[in-house]
Chain A
């Protein structure tokens, strides 16, 4: 009997302590990945940046509608095609209490762009994100000038990806220390990093308030934020439904029903920035003929797949740009018509259809198989071949070199929502993301001209022309841009998902 009562006691204790014990207001995010490092200049992962962004602020940032707004900067102007001046806010404090000045901003930018500036002769892996940034000058204690090698209209769009560090702090702990220690200007400061498990942050009471264009301005709403690492999607959803976490990212489309049905949770979505498409090997035996490519375009029922597999949470695209990107426009659509597809194959000389393979990374296996079965019904008998990301990239992104394979189901991200980062890599001759092997000198010329065009209207028109060309030439069958889905507890308020996958918790509150 004694054993029994002791067992009962223990069980009750376990039950009590398995439930979340929250006295101060605490917001937990069920997150897919752990941060690689907490050094803002020493990584290349979006997830790492998402976490870091709550601890460190940047010169500029984006609001929920993806507009670029000043954050640590107060304002900025373009003095010449290659020089920008930024006025830095006064009164910003680092977590250790020291003040932020222009010296810290210059130090940050130098650290990111100067060769060997990371110590031990290492260069920041994020250097390329700041492209033609030549140097930074300190004009006075709260003004800096950024000098570029050449005109680069997307500099403001790219600055939100970088965060400002404290010169004194980095000089004292070094790059090695910055990997695990944090001294930023963000709304939260680091409490503990349990590697592989979670990152615990608490409110920074002396926060300067944040971007003035994003209300409310002031210290963070919640006392503590925890990013809990749960890579398994089913476990993440389970944690949300159980109330163990308040926000989860990468909510799978088929769990939408469950999350909506639960009275304590809801689904939030935001237009994504990753375009999905099927690359066809234009040097291959079938796809050099435009009729075959058109047949493919007519054989895929995009709406069905968006409806069934993506839960309706995706936008069709007929060109490479997502509907939210700069320069996107209405383009002619290729209707779903398998009979027409068969006809076109016959016209191209393949009355009995063709046999091809489609390469895909494991994560998108299901969608690729759905597409493959649709294609097969239209006479394009497709076998799906799952490969590893690394191997497939080597196989298809040959930068102009010869390639093997028929089709590649893949995607390209466009976090800056500017065609520069997506159109050029995927369509310019021999560029790094040109999986199809497309080579069109006319298009190259338009893209090059648009890169440096400063007149916004002219630039947009150029991209429209470019899209019309590729929509007609079909080097890729453009599929869709999925929305980013988040599961959110109803006790969370003041937070909206952002198209750049940031989870900015400054203004989030829990009730």
Chain B
């Protein structure tokens, strides 16, 4: 695929991002509820002080003006100051981001590591008991409401059995100097296997809950595409040539079967980001999702706008990447 086409596709993303910014901005601006009133709460405040606060937050300007300022600053990476933290929004988001990304990545890993073998096995043993159970299992996986399932898991493992922790990312017996800000990696890099296990025990339940629907979907996709690949002529041909079935499977079939899996995974990762909110709330995970939900209710405009933009950019880039990946893996498909 030519560089020109690549750039063309990238440029097409710009109006999309612009549209997302407009919608995000308007949504917050048009939502009733005055952020200044929320910050003040019950406290006494004179009219001048209230005006000063409003001015400090930049809310005394008109909506178009505010949007222009927002956009102008956003291009340089300045997303304003959070109404509550009184620090740059980009800083606040950057602090909470690693937790969300780590959770999403672990969920993705679990999903891939479970769904691919299960899907392949289900395809090989089509219509067997295993296949049927796997099918029901995957249907269950997309039918379980995440918020309910997460609560049940938490109560079972953290409370009743007390094997896993109740909330947070890691315990306090360890101070880990951050390198990547991903605890699972940092603990290993710092040579602290005990801390690694601690972090693992904290991330296990939320990642399972988050990754479950994706596991179910990917399993189905893998099974279906594996079935299709196995029916292909070249498989029979390879078998005829005398290659062992196993070799055929893993050399030829699997590679091609995984193409749709990978593509769907890339697209669904976007929904992993979106599904974070509920899981983070239930498990007390200190990530971006929880922060965004709280911020919407607190009318913390700058933070919500920046976060939405971040999600949109990521999602759009993921889709873009998925498209490219699909083309690369499957040269017969033209962009």
Contacts and interface: CB of A to CB of B under 8 A. Distances in A.
Q: Do any CB atoms of chain A lie under 8 A from CB atoms of chain B in the complex?
A: yes
A218 interface: no
Nearest to B99: A196
Contacts of B318: none
B198 A425 contact: no
A231 interface: yes
Given A125-B53, A230-B284, A196 B46 contact: no
A281 interface: no
Contacts of A507: none
Interface in A219-257: 224, 226, 228-232, 234-235, 238-239, 241-242, 244
A81 B169 CA distance: 53
Which one of A18, A34, A228 has the highest number of Cβ atoms from chain B below 10 Å of its Cβ?
Answer: A18
Contacts of B282: 232
Given A198-B168, A390-B34, A18 B175 contact: no
Contacts of B164: 14, 18
Contact of B96 (A129, A195, A232): A195
A432 interface: yes
B201 A14 contact: yes
B84 interface: yes
Interface stretch (B35-43, B60-68, B70-78, B265-273): B35-43
A273 B99 CA distance: 37
B38 A390 contact: yes
Contacts of A21: 171, 173
B180 interface: no
A239 B173 contact: no
A44 B39 CA distance: 7
A20 B46 CA distance: 48
Interface string B126-145: 00000000000000000000
A234 B151 CA distance: 10
A129 B166 contact: no
A413 B162 CA distance: 38
Interface stretch (A35-43, A67-75, A461-469): A35-43
Interface string A420-455: 010001000000110000000000000000000000
B44 A432 contact: yes
Interface string B274-301: 0000000111101100110000011100
A26 interface: yes
A15 interface: yes
Given A14-B197, A394-B37, A228 B167 contact: yes
Contacts of B34: 390, 393-394
A209 to B, nearest CB: 27
Interface string B14-43: 000000000000000000111101111111
B40 A230 contact: no
Given A123-B52, A231-B284, A192 B175 contact: yes
A306 B10 CA distance: 61
A234 B156 CA distance: 13
Contact of B32 (A10, A44, A234, A390): A390
A129 B43 contact: yes
B86 A39 contact: yes
B168 to A, nearest CB: 5
A388 B46 contact: no
A303 to B, nearest CB: 27
A17 interface: yes
B177 to A, nearest CB: 10
Interface residues of B, number: 59
Which one of A122, A180, A390 has the highest number of Cβ atoms from chain B below 10 Å of its Cβ?
Answer: A390
A100 B290 CA distance: 39
A411 B155 CA distance: 33
Nearest to B33: A390
A159 to B, nearest CB: 15
B200 interface: yes
A10 B197 contact: yes
Nearest to A226: B172
Contacts of B52: 115, 123
Contact of A14 (B45, B163, B283): B163
A1 interface: no
Contacts of B231: none
Interface residues of A, number: 67
Nearest to A193: B95
A511 interface: no
Contact of A239 (B56, B167, B286): B167
Contacts of B287: 196
A151 interface: no
A187 B55 CA distance: 37
Interface string A26-66: 10100000101101001111000000000000000000000
Given A37-B86, A196-B96, A239-B166, A128 B49 contact: yes
Given A17-B197, A196-B286, A36 B84 contact: yes
Given A43-B84, A197-B286, A235 B39 contact: no
B38 A393 contact: yes
Nearest to A243: B162
A51 to B, nearest CB: 14
B313 interface: no
Contact of B154 (A129, A196, A235): A235
Nearest to B42: A413
A123 B53 contact: yes
Which one of A180, A244, A425 has the highest number of Cβ atoms from chain B below 10 Å of its Cβ?
Answer: A244
19 contacts: A14-B200, A21-B171, A43-B86, A125-B39, A128-B40, A175-B86, A180-B87, A196-B95, A196-B287, A228-B167, A231-B290, A232-B167, A232-B284, A244-B165, A389-B33, A389-B297, A390-B297, A432-B45, A433-B42
Interface of B: 32-35, 37-46, 49, 52-53, 56, 84-87, 92, 95-96, 99, 151, 154-155, 158-159, 162-169, 171-173, 175, 194, 197-198, 200-201, 281-284, 286-287, 290-291, 297-299
Interface of A: 10, 13-15, 17-18, 20-22, 26, 28, 34, 36-37, 39, 42-45, 115, 121-123, 125, 127-129, 131, 175-176, 179-180, 191-192, 194-198, 200, 224, 226, 228-232, 234-235, 238-239, 241-242, 244, 388-391, 393-394, 397, 412-413, 421, 425, 432-433
Given A235-B283, A389-B33, 9 more contacts: A26-B172, A37-B87, A127-B49, A195-B92, A195-B95, A196-B286, A197-B286, A228-B167, A425-B44
Pairs A-B, 10 closest by C-beta atoms: A390-B33, A196-B286, A197-B286, A21-B173, A128-B45, A238-B159, A195-B95, A239-B166, A36-B84, A42-B86
